[in-house]
Structure 1
């Protein structure tokens, strides 16, 4: 069956409950019909009544209801990550991390053979970065700590005070201008000495991570009130230790990602308990966990394809989030059964995916104050789309395939196409799975090849934020939105060939000049008005700081 917009609309309808936007389109008419005699009124009067009824029941009339506003307490922010922007890779006592090692020892792995040695030079230009945040008017800035910058050996036997001071300077600059810092404790840049000992495949990583985050909490939790333990565990485990598309480029498919999944859940839980037990009582604050969640939709309306969606969800992100957010804890049951069956058939004496003990489940379950979601796009899913994969591998374990229709707009990233309604579908998937939990969109953005007039990015942001408004209209507990990214940066294996920034960075300029794109002005307008205006066109190319920022 050829996928159509009807299939996506059907899936969106399936995701919704009776109070949804699409159902509410028809509700005013149904109400009028129930009023009996009013049905014979002149069509002009009918239209007025429809508008009045829409206002009375506070429902969405049409796909985009003009005038919807984000709540006053809704947080708007921007996000970055340490290796992608800081540079200063070997300055002031910083140690080597797995990305330093990769780009210097395997340069052909990077699309343009570039490195993050200087990147955006934010280590030296953090004040300009904060100035850009003030220009945008954001409420909060999400950044990550470089483990190797504060612990050069990976262990707390050597604490680099220059690294601590850099983050103190950044935090103080943010607070000076009433921008709330949110720290990501781990965004993929493991110290190389720890990788030499096995990295996330070594069970001792759980304790190593706790030792590291203790140093972070001890130095910054007096001023920082929001922490994220780990960014996108799927990318750490599946891409880093399964299919080798992220550092450390270990291809241990079907085994490595599952071993990593156990260790990373336990490491997260240890970091959460440390904060919750020691630092939260002193300073208050929250500690959460961020996952990459795609909008996985069925290729057809068949029950088989709907089940394929569930298996893809389990393989892609629920394997990491279920242990924390599900009622029973532990890995997803269907995935456990499938991997056990495949492992036995392949001659393994035990399952390649070992569930947690009951004690471990209890220790991990509930260890997050919010669900952080990084969302970009999605795909259509079906058993019929499956093609043979490596054996063993997690994709072979579930036997499900994916596809993207040709009419979805392609970004500069091969993996990233603009899926209709993807933000709404994603938020609804999370709500349906875990109930009424606080959700922060910790990354969302569009990749381009560069240039200032980034209309596709503008359209993407508007569509995504309309999806957030749809979710808010349904009562989904979305608390905030962080644009990815504040500025262009080193985009992992793509190097500098893909641009995600609201601000363009000139890498040919030693000063790494930052220039606002059209999307920066549009995002600023959305933040200022707390509305998505599809007709807004920036009247200037000069970015200024508004009063109060």
Structure 2
């Protein structure tokens, strides 16, 4: 499979700059290397030490108030942060990674405007409690996933299915909550703590199914607009949703006979409050898609229908064994990074998630996954040195095999294997962990031989 991955990259990326070989090149001197985890996915103890239930506790058991006002939670993260720093590891802390306290969801969750103030209060508590040691903050992880799968399609917690309105409303409040937290940090903590605050946006790259079709080209643009630009445009550009998204939803509402626009509107005051509320661009990337136009005029209202963009699987792209949705397209990341550079005023970027899953039984000799990482890092080098992207760091998802949401423990993204059948949960490094450690030690990929 390693050779298949190499073949896919060299065959499909015909536009790659062939005059420079990134193998053996070093990354910039201050480049940050890391691996990511998330509280709900690795910590366990869902009902221990006074932690209240989160929407995922409810969601998984029908089938938290993790830190705020919980001294045991505060002590836990105090120890974790101190331990990381003692081992020369810089913590990058995400305030919200899908596990909203159930008590807040019972009051409307992200569909409620009251969440803006609640999140801001929580953020202020965390800045005040941990900000003397934490200098890189992420407010919300992947708001697109939370909005679409949590409040539109109901496939993830809290399992709300409000087609055509739920995702837009949830996203609206998440953007305002992020902006409020950024301003709180800027006003109360930045001068004394000197940290940076952003939001982690996930996005695929989109290629037109037929590169000669104007309709498919426009559909590919809509796919990126409804995924990345939905959040990036308000925060990094002008405080408002992308024009392509607003016009598309407006047109669909008229064609479907909807009495009003389903996409909420920001007031002028809110636009000014939202604009410029990120100190760097945090990107989570896994895969790319072929996109073709699809006429959804007669479809019931939904966010999916609004896009009029059908995702088509490219059969020549290898697929991760543990995730049928994860097609291996390393060159798509380079194109996405270039798009972000060109669209969002050449920001400093951190890749805060990038990974490849295995299914059970997962072999420690994960050659296929390491080849994914190797090819991805080569594309990142091209983005830095050929395209001039200001990429400052790369974090693998994930440090450990963990609870992968609706896939449970069957989808293994970890650099370290976890034996979930053993109560002691023993861990062992995959080959990818060993090879990734070499990359970090060398600040670059060693040139391959043979």
TM-score interval, normalised by the smaller of the two chains: over 0.9
Match of 2:137 in 1: 227
The answer to whether the Cα contact below 8 Å between 1:372 and 1:439 also exists between their aligned partners in 2 is yes
Match of 1:395 in 2: 304
The Cα of 1:354 is off from its aligned counterpart by 2.1
The answer to whether the Cα contact below 8 Å between 2:256 and 2:298 also exists between their aligned partners in 1 is no
Match of 2:43 in 1: 86
Alignment counterpart, residue 497 of structure 1, candidates 407, 410, 415: 410
Q: SS of the residue aligned with 2:216?
A: helix
Q: Give CA-to-partner distance per residue, 1:250-303, whole Å, 9 cap, x none.
A: 111110001111101000000100111111111101001111111111122233
Q: Is structure 2 residue 435 aligned with structure 1 residue 518?
A: no
Match of 1:319 in 2: 230
The Cα of 1:329 is off from its aligned counterpart by 2.7
Between the aligned partners of 1:84 and 1:238, the Cα distance in structure 2 is 20
The Cα of 1:304 is off from its aligned counterpart by 2.7
Q: Is structure 2 residue 217 aligned with structure 1 residue 306?
A: yes
Q: SS of the residue aligned with 1:172?
A: helix
The Cα of 1:316 is off from its aligned counterpart by 1.5
Q: SS of the residue aligned with 1:504?
A: strand
The answer to whether the Cα contact below 8 Å between 1:340 and 1:351 also exists between their aligned partners in 2 is yes
Q: SS of the residue aligned with 1:469?
A: helix
Q: How do residues 11-22 of structure 1 correspond to structure 2 at under 5 angstroms? A: 13=15, 22=17
Q: How do residues 9-48 of structure 1 correspond to structure 2 at under 5 angstroms? A: 9=13, 13=15, 22=17, 25=18
Q: Is structure 2 residue 326 aligned with structure 1 residue 416?
A: yes
CA gap of 1:441–1:5, structure 2 versus 1, over 3 A, is closer
Q: SS of the residue aligned with 2:199?
A: strand
The Cα of 1:105 is off from its aligned counterpart by 1.4
Q: How do residues 190-229 of structure 1 correspond to structure 2 at under 5 angstroms? A: 190-229=100-139
The Cα of 1:5 is off from its aligned counterpart by 8.2
Q: Unpaired segments of 5 or more residues in structure 2?
A: 1-7
Q: Give CA-to-partner distance per residue, 1:387-432, whole Å, 9 cap, x none.
A: 7996211121121111121121111112111025122112112112
Alignment counterpart, residue 475 of structure 1, candidates 373, 388, 395: 388
The Cα of 1:179 is off from its aligned counterpart by 0.7
Match of 1:162 in 2: 72
Q: Is structure 2 residue 156 aligned with structure 1 residue 246?
A: yes
CA gap of 1:390–1:454, structure 2 versus 1, over 3 A, is farther
Q: SS of the residue aligned with 1:379?
A: strand
Q: SS of the residue aligned with 2:198?
A: strand
Q: Give CA-to-partner distance per residue, 1:503-526, whole Å, 9 cap, x none.
A: 000111111111000000100011
Q: Unpaired segments of 5 or more residues in structure 1?
A: 14-20, 26-59, 107-146, 152-158, 538-549
Between the aligned partners of 2:375 and 2:110, the Cα distance in structure 1 is 37
Q: Give CA-to-partner distance per residue, 1:128-155, whole Å, 9 cap, x none.
A: xxxxxxxxxxxxxxxxxxx51223xxxx
CA gap of 1:519–1:337, structure 2 versus 1, over 3 A, is same
Q: Which runs of 4+ in 1 moved over 6 A?
A: 4-7, 386-389
The structure whose Rg is larger is 1
Between the aligned partners of 2:10 and 2:78, the Cα distance in structure 1 is 52
Between the aligned partners of 1:298 and 1:5, the Cα distance in structure 2 is 17
Alignment counterpart, residue 172 of structure 1, candidates 65, 72, 82: 82
Q: Give CA-to-partner distance per residue, 1:299-358, whole Å, 9 cap, x none.
A: 2223332221111111112111110012x3300112111212222333432200022111
Between the aligned partners of 1:513 and 1:356, the Cα distance in structure 2 is 50
Q: Is structure 2 residue 214 aligned with structure 1 residue 297?
A: no
Between the aligned partners of 2:342 and 2:300, the Cα distance in structure 1 is 32
Q: SS of the residue aligned with 2:155?
A: coil
Q: SS of the residue aligned with 2:413?
A: coil
Between the aligned partners of 1:344 and 1:483, the Cα distance in structure 2 is 43
Match of 1:156 in 2: none
Between the aligned partners of 2:335 and 2:424, the Cα distance in structure 1 is 41
The Cα of 1:7 is off from its aligned counterpart by 9.8
Alignment counterpart, residue 148 of structure 1, candidates 65, 68, 71: 65
Aligned length: 438
Q: SS of the residue aligned with 1:418?
A: coil
CA gap of 1:346–1:301, structure 2 versus 1, over 3 A, is closer
Q: Give CA-to-partner distance per residue, 1:161-203, whole Å, 9 cap, x none.
A: 1110000000010111111111000000000011111100011
Match of 1:441 in 2: 351
Q: SS of the residue aligned with 1:150?
A: coil
The Cα of 1:435 is off from its aligned counterpart by 2.4
Between the aligned partners of 1:491 and 1:244, the Cα distance in structure 2 is 16
The answer to whether the Cα contact below 8 Å between 2:201 and 2:283 also exists between their aligned partners in 1 is yes
Match of 2:4 in 1: none
Alignment counterpart, residue 452 of structure 1, candidates 341, 359, 364: 364
Between the aligned partners of 2:150 and 2:11, the Cα distance in structure 1 is 34
Between the aligned partners of 2:11 and 2:267, the Cα distance in structure 1 is 40
Between the aligned partners of 1:530 and 1:254, the Cα distance in structure 2 is 46
Q: SS of the residue aligned with 2:116?
A: helix
Two-structure CA RMSD over aligned residues (Å): 1.9
Q: Give CA-to-partner distance per residue, 1:201-222, whole Å, 9 cap, x none.
A: 0110101101111111111001
Alignment counterpart, residue 263 of structure 1, candidates 173, 195, 199: 173
